[in-house]
Amino acid sequence: MSRIKVIVLLHCFLALAPVCMRFVPPHVRALPVIWAFASINLSQLMLLAIYVAMFAGNFRPRLLVATAGVFYIGICQVIGERGMDVGTWVAPPASPYVRYLGMDAGTLIILTGLLAVARGSMGFIRRMQVSPLKPADARSQFSLLTLLLVISLAALVLGLVESSRQAAGEKENAAAMIVQYVLFAIVFGTNLLATLPSTLGVGRVSGKLAIVFAVSAILGLSLGVSFGHDKIGWWLLPGSSLMTLIPTAIIASTLLLLRPLGFRLTRVAADATPIEA
């Protein structure tokens, strides 16, 4: 069995993670465990967005695979929710499935659109026979533009966190939901954009991944603060980082499994010949 098929089967198995929620005790201290299980499905939606937006080749087969993946993930999420509500289930199964399907499809569309926009500067993921750049040419470089982008992103995240906390204290929570969803998209979109070049780019991986995981932990804390987890208990804030760290770990591990097969994120193939994936 090829490595790609093994990866697909592994993710089909991981998608069943919400089923394990039925074994989690219904207590506030168990919230980090619930977040950990829920974030596994989120990481798979992020991987589907990468597959649709970043891989070179015919678009239609990738879109069909992503659509099937969204339907499958939604089924797994409904099974997990029913397991947590044993004895109190009233709503018909179709009701939560449509809700999950809408949220998953919306998340996939937003992340795919973000990656499609970034593809102009980052390039496609191609399967190469030879690395497109020599290791000596693959040194990390930071420009003034990079510094400005990082500072702007940090300011945007902090502003959204503060806006979310202020809106949550009002009677009308629609504004808080909108701000939190925008923050959610920025946080996980940033994780994707940072993880892709760190795993499938040229050069050493370890140093880049260390930075990616540090940034992911900080972004997870920002989500926890925006949701008001610190008001419930300070110990929930470290658990908030699981919402970003686990998807980052799953995405990075999956892409690193593809790296030995010759998959690279590249804009040009000057010294390499792409082969079919």
The string of pLDDT tens digits covering residues 35-89 is 888 889 999 999 999 999 999 878 889 999 999 999 999 888 888 777 665 444 4
* Number of domains, the chain: 1
The Cα–Cα gap between 130 and 14 comes to 32
Give me the pLDDT at residue 33, please: 84
Range of the domain at 157: 3-275
Q: Which of 171, 195, 202 is nearest to 247 (CA)?
A: 195
DSSP, residue by residue, 105-146:
HHHHHHHHHHHHHHHHHH-EEEEESS-SS-GGG------HHH
In this prediction, residue 250 carries a pLDDT of 94
Give the pLDDT confidence score for residue 247 in this predicted structure: 92
User: Looking only at Cα atoms, what is the longest distance across the chain?
Assistant: 62
Residue closest to 247 by CA, chosen among 56, 110, 42: 42
Give the predicted TM-score (pTM) of the model. Answer: 0.82
Question: Which segments in the chain show pLDDT lower than 70?
Answer: 1, 83-94, 130-147, 165-176, 268-277
Average model confidence (pLDDT) for the chain? 79
User: Tokens in use for 130?
Assistant: 């030879």
pLDDT number for residue 68: 94
Question: What's the confidence (pLDDT) of residue 170?
Answer: 57
What pLDDT shows up at residue 47? 94
